Structure 1
Amino acid sequence: MMKPFSLLLILGAGFFIDVLAAPSPCPLVGPAFPWPTPSLENKCLDTARRNLSALLFKAANGSTNSIAVQAFDTSNTSPLFQWTYTADNLDTKLGVSHVDQDSVFRVGSVSKLWAMTLFLAEAGIDTFSDPVAKYIPEIQSAVSGDAIDSVQWANVTIGDLASHLAGVGRDYGILDLAANPSMTQMGFPVLQPNEIPPCGNPVPCNRTQFFSGLLQRHPTFPVSATPVYSNAAFQILGYVLEAIKNDTFENLFQSQIVRPLNLSHTFYTAPSPSLGVIPQGQGANFWNMDLGDENPAGGIYSSANDMAALGRAILNSTLIDPLTTRRWMKPHSHTSSLAYAVGAPWEITSFSLPRLIDLYTKSGDIGSYSSVLALSPDHGVGFTILVAGTGGHVVAAMVADLVAQTMLPALEYIAKDQARVRFAGTYSAPSRVVNSSISIITDDGPGLRVTNWTSNSTDMFQSLATLRGANDTSQITIRLYPTGLETPGKISFRALIPPDLGLAPIGPFTGSCITWVTVDSYIYGSVGLDEFVFTLDDHLRATSVSPRVLRIDLQRQNSSSG
């Protein structure tokens, strides 16, 4: 019997990550090392790729799901990893007979990520604070009733819509169960004609029909109360962008995303089925399913290569300036899961490596198609997964777990090893200067570790212990983390010296990671004791380091094996 996907393999693979474990040694959220530049010949990466291929092939053997996977980074145009699986149940009379990295899938709600990239590139992030009524006359003229029956549209901002915080219903018309004639046989009442959406099944709603129906829908929650998924919100965002740019969303998508990124297998509406991965059965129906003006929420078609190009463009700030990218890639709301937050429209998954890693992801499902695009801002890498078949979201999620849990540890190791070569070693002042030096290594923890630090023949660990009121230097650990502040030939780090509360954690207040509160907390002459700047040569290797509070440059004497 054909199987959707092998859950057994994943349960037995031993790849469990404790998302509840307290991070140790308590770094900041963000990179532990500068972005790696992984060579495709790197032994660690090669081992990870071979292991991942074996896991995926074993899990997919006999599956009814066709799958395309690609991992990518910002420093290579070639994939870090690519893998495909072609199921036996493809409709080869309509679509492709063999899946490759250019095969086209529907990406479902990953379309929201494409739409938000376009929105930020064209309208900017400052519009997030604007009321949506500013751009949508139908909403501006809407009369809000009581809070239970009517969305309070005057309070809804563009940012609320983008981050699923508007309290707006999921859809209007499309997939409404009123189109199912058997509903009354299952105990539901007979609907009056005016209660049945006139569109959405199968003909999509036009703008007039959409707003006429949506403005009558009840809110799900108050504005900004809790994230509740909404496709309708992104349909409205499409209309907002059209109003701002005085052009159609489709034209903007082609001119500002597809052409600049040179995408040859990404489409706003259904392309020729000969390009597509189309399962037998309902595959052709879902391939041709027209979402009309809801396309920004779920209608886009793409390939693994083109999805990787979008992910690379986001990480490299190719279409959006770096400041906007940083502001965009932040949580907007928690969920009830400690490992899951919501952005605009990011689905942010957190896990321990053992340090905390945030993956900024978006998943999507439409009929026989499921997809994932995941980005790691800590490593400058990402991966995409496209699925067509019977397994749906579960298959895409399980493949995503395997990719993340196999590739990210390898990339973290590569980043650490490259940081060792670039920064580890002993740095000292010229011999004519009073004894001053610092030793930096990499170990089994995150960041660069300072093992010895002397200034003017004084042990700085002892000085820090005195400032901290610590009993001895054994309570002082110093780790350096990149800040992201760089200029040509220089890179900034901050030292984290985790506080010792003097007791075993008994709950979230005593066990929380609070190092973010301690940054820049000791200042001498307006310079933080934790500020370090490395000077780099043409190969980006450190030649000196300045503990800036000491107003001195220490020259690198030797590299460390770390």
Structure 2
Amino acid sequence: MPSFTSTLISISLALFTSTNAQSPKYCPPLGPIYPPPTNLSNDPTFATAVQDITSILGQVTSSNGSLSNTSISVQIFDATESGPLLNFAYTADNINTTLGVSKVDQDTVFRVGSVSKLWTMVLFLIEEGLWPFQEPVARFIPELARAGRELQWDPRKRRDGIDYVHWGHVSMGELASHLAGIARDYGVLDLSGMGSQMEQLGFPALQPSEIPPCGNPNPCSREQFFNGLLQSHPIVPTSSTPIYSNAAFQILAYALEAMTDQSYAELLQRDIIAPLGLNGTYYTTPNISLGVIPNDMGEYWWNFDLGDEGPAGAIYSSTRDMATLGQAILSNSLFPSFITRRWMKPATHTSSLDYSVGAPWEIVSFGDERPIDIYSKAGDIGSYSSIIALSPDHNVGFTVLAAGADGHAKVALAADLISVILLPALEQSAKEQASAKFDGDYAATDGFNSSIALTTDDGPGLLVTSWVNNGTDMIQSLMTMGHVTDPDTFSIRLYPTGLESPGQMSFRALMPPALSTAGNGPFTSSCISWVVVDGQVYGNVGIDEFVINLDETEIVKSITPRVLRTTLPKT
């Protein structure tokens, strides 16, 4: 009879093998497999997806639906079209129409909670770019600089890694990506405010000195915040594992104000609200008549004052304005594209394989054949919940704002329901548009027997179905170079690199190396296409480098396999 351990090992190996049996067949590089789709408002495939998303949102907000007691506003948008690709709003019955709106629409104001952190990062990138994030935060915050010096001069504290944060070791980037290992908050909603109720639950009575003097209901001053935070214990060492922190963004905002000599509110108005023409975004509490106010604690949370923690969670906005911010990020209209690309990258893993953390991105991955990374930020404050999600591969995003009970779970559900329809539709629209644009034959007109044919098939990218140069079959030549004898195991697929010049688009070809058959683990079966790009060059030009040439109306004119030093017009 097998032992428990051996049985467990067998089951684990079976599950592991089953999981890895779904490994990608083609191994495209990370990123889009076709150029992003355009003119989506007139795309029939995308129109069907919009109808499906509208239908499913209608179902979950119906009388028996899971979102029926939650008011929500949803928009889907892309980087180029001024209007929304989808606009959906639902008004729950349980709202206070005396204080707030009676009908939710794209201009209704909600609190967006921790999505405020995204606005704070945008301000930083507009004002300073990325350079500060490698710097120690103590450089910009005198209270933390003093704490760091005092720690160094006190041998007992210096050796104590459990009770004291070593502020001299904390960088701005670690704060922005929740890797500083510091407390989540100071004072805000501290349970000491529940006093006797906590004692009845078995907690000890606190001494007056142990109770934060601020945070609930009165927000902390800067002095109170740092006095309390410097007594808070560290959670984990810096850059070890992500630990969510609102206090980190309060500190970042103090640093930004020190760098710019401007208040956060002034920067928000000058750098984002005014340039983007936002009419429904506020840092301080706007008139309650602009908002949707749930009967259950809605007025309380609408007016709840976070004080200096506002950059972590105080902003109010509408779906129209949230979509406008998302469009600005996707279109690089607020700062250069190279900053956007560096910013929209993971800083750390989490314990979920499909969930990473950026600054302050919450990055979720979808897809079987290839990962599609969605850069999102969610937020909650009492009765209000929100999310904004961007797909850089498609230049499309969506936002969901909600007011009602259990909002976080309901916003997450809405985001899942939208994504499971939206992302396949975007992939299909991109593929269909790429097929219409690039598929076809390209051949020399100078009498030489040179040609190439492209198509889209069931796999990703643009498939090279034939390729001849001066009478030589280049597919056969590349198979010979790669020691491939079975043509069924070999393909050449072109993927966009994102590099462009006027009238030109860059592509790279992948001829995937065969995956190892020695095992089923990640070392033997992982996709290693990123290793082989530009792996073979001839005369300092990659064999895999292609440029597609377009006219002024974006119609494809020709293709240039650059290693062959020739251009083949489209026939």
Q: Which residue of 1 aligns with 2:419?
A: 404
Structure-2 change in CA distance of 1:460 and 1:392 (3 Å): same
3-state SS, counterpart of residue 549 of structure 2: strand
Residues 259-268 or 450-459, more deviating: 450-459
- Equivalenced residue count is 539
Q: Which one of the candidate residues 88, 92, 101 is aligned to 1:87? A: 92
Q: Which residue of 1 aligns with 2:362?
A: 347
3-state SS, counterpart of residue 328 of structure 2: helix
State yes or no: 1:457 paired with 2:471: yes
Q: Which one of the candidate residues 181, 190, 207 is aligned to 1:176? A: 190
Q: Which one of the candidate residues 281, 284, 309 is aligned to 1:294? A: 309
Q: Which residue of 2 aligns with 1:58?
A: 59
Q: Which residue of 2 aligns with 1:6?
A: none
Q: Which residue of 1 aligns with 2:15?
A: none
- 1: CA distance between counterparts of 2:442 and 2:45? 29
Quote how far apart the aligned CAs of 1:175 are. Answer: 1.0
Instruction: Please say if residues 535 and 542 of structure 1, whose CA atoms lie closer than 8 Å, have aligned partners that are also in contact.
Output: yes
Quote how far apart the aligned CAs of 1:504 are. Answer: 7.0
Residues 70-117 of structure 1: per-residue CA shift (max 9 Å, x gap): 000012111111101100001001100000000000000000001100
State yes or no: 1:391 paired with 2:396: no
Structure-2 change in CA distance of 1:105 and 1:36 (3 Å): same
3-state SS, counterpart of residue 276 of structure 2: coil
Structure-2 change in CA distance of 1:123 and 1:19 (3 Å): farther
Instruction: Please say if residues 24 and 355 of structure 1, whose CA atoms lie closer than 8 Å, have aligned partners that are also in contact.
Output: no
3-state SS, counterpart of residue 530 of structure 2: helix
Instruction: Please say if residues 19 and 339 of structure 1, whose CA atoms lie closer than 8 Å, have aligned partners that are also in contact.
Output: no
Quote how far apart the aligned CAs of 1:21 are. Answer: 4.5
Q: Letter of the aligned partner of 1:554 in structure 2?
A: L
Quote how far apart the aligned CAs of 1:505 are. Answer: 5.3
Q: Which residue of 2 aligns with 1:544?
A: 558
Structure-2 change in CA distance of 1:504 and 1:96 (3 Å): farther
- 2: CA distance between counterparts of 1:496 and 1:225? 36
Quote how far apart the aligned CAs of 1:502 are. Answer: 5.4
Q: Which residue of 1 aligns with 2:264?
A: 249
Instruction: Please say if residues 21 and 352 of structure 1, whose CA atoms lie closer than 8 Å, have aligned partners that are also in contact.
Output: no
Q: Which one of the candidate residues 468, 480, 487 is aligned to 1:473? A: 487
Superposed counterparts of 1:306-325, under 5 Å: 306-325=321-340
Instruction: Please say if residues 72 and 308 of structure 1, whose CA atoms lie closer than 8 Å, have aligned partners that are also in contact.
Output: yes
3-state SS, counterpart of residue 364 of structure 1: strand
- 1: CA distance between counterparts of 2:534 and 2:145? 47
Q: Letter of the aligned partner of 2:420 in structure 1?
A: Q
State yes or no: 1:415 paired with 2:430: yes
Q: Which residue of 2 aligns with 1:513?
A: 527
- 2: CA distance between counterparts of 1:209 and 1:159? 24
Q: Which residue of 2 aligns with 1:158?
A: 172
3-state SS, counterpart of residue 439 of structure 1: strand
- 1: CA distance between counterparts of 2:117 and 2:333? 18
- 1: CA distance between counterparts of 2:317 and 2:532? 45
Instruction: Please say if residues 421 and 541 of structure 1, whose CA atoms lie closer than 8 Å, have aligned partners that are also in contact.
Output: no
- 2: CA distance between counterparts of 1:114 and 1:108? 11
Structure-2 change in CA distance of 1:546 and 1:75 (3 Å): same
Q: Letter of the aligned partner of 1:227 in structure 2?
A: P
Structure-2 change in CA distance of 1:78 and 1:505 (3 Å): farther
State yes or no: 1:232 paired with 2:247: yes
Structure-2 change in CA distance of 1:440 and 1:516 (3 Å): same
State yes or no: 1:532 paired with 2:533: no
Instruction: Please say if residues 38 and 45 of structure 1, whose CA atoms lie closer than 8 Å, have aligned partners that are also in contact.
Output: no
Q: Which residue of 1 aligns with 2:376?
A: 361
3-state SS, counterpart of residue 227 of structure 1: coil
Taking only the aligned residue pairs, the percentage that are identical comes to 56
- 2: CA distance between counterparts of 1:127 and 1:251? 20
Q: Which residue of 2 aligns with 1:131?
A: 136
Instruction: Please say if residues 515 and 526 of structure 2, whose CA atoms lie closer than 8 Å, have aligned partners that are also in contact.
Output: no
- 1: CA distance between counterparts of 2:133 and 2:175? 9
- 2: CA distance between counterparts of 1:377 and 1:31? 8
State yes or no: 1:78 paired with 2:88: no
- 1: CA distance between counterparts of 2:392 and 2:212? 42
- 1: CA distance between counterparts of 2:405 and 2:339? 38
Q: Which residue of 2 aligns with 1:11?
A: none
Residues 534-557 of structure 1: per-residue CA shift (max 9 Å, x gap): 110122121111111111101111
- 2: CA distance between counterparts of 1:252 and 1:41? 37
Quote how far apart the aligned CAs of 1:35 are. Answer: 1.4
Gaps of 5+ in 2: 1-18, 152-156
Structure-2 change in CA distance of 1:120 and 1:276 (3 Å): same
Q: Which one of the candidate residues 121, 126, 129 is aligned to 1:121? A: 126
Instruction: Please say if residues 494 and 531 of structure 1, whose CA atoms lie closer than 8 Å, have aligned partners that are also in contact.
Output: yes
Residues 386-407 of structure 1: per-residue CA shift (max 9 Å, x gap): 0100131110001001111112
3-state SS, counterpart of residue 174 of structure 2: helix
Quote how far apart the aligned CAs of 1:243 are. Answer: 0.3
Structure-2 change in CA distance of 1:515 and 1:350 (3 Å): same
Q: Which one of the candidate residues 194, 206, 210 is aligned to 2:225? A: 210
- 2: CA distance between counterparts of 1:77 and 1:444? 33
- Structure with higher helix content: 2
Residues 264-273 or 414-423, more deviating: 414-423
Instruction: Please say if residues 19 and 338 of structure 1, whose CA atoms lie closer than 8 Å, have aligned partners that are also in contact.
Output: no
Q: Letter of the aligned partner of 1:42 in structure 2?
A: D
- 1: CA distance between counterparts of 2:211 and 2:515? 62
Instruction: Please say if residues 74 and 316 of structure 1, whose CA atoms lie closer than 8 Å, have aligned partners that are also in contact.
Output: yes
Q: Letter of the aligned partner of 2:132 in structure 1?
A: T
Give me the TM-score of the superposition, normalised by structure 2. Answer: 0.93
Give me the TM-score of the superposition, normalised by structure 1. Answer: 0.94
Superposed counterparts of 1:462-501, under 5 Å: 462-501=476-515
Q: Which residue of 1 aligns with 2:25?
A: 24
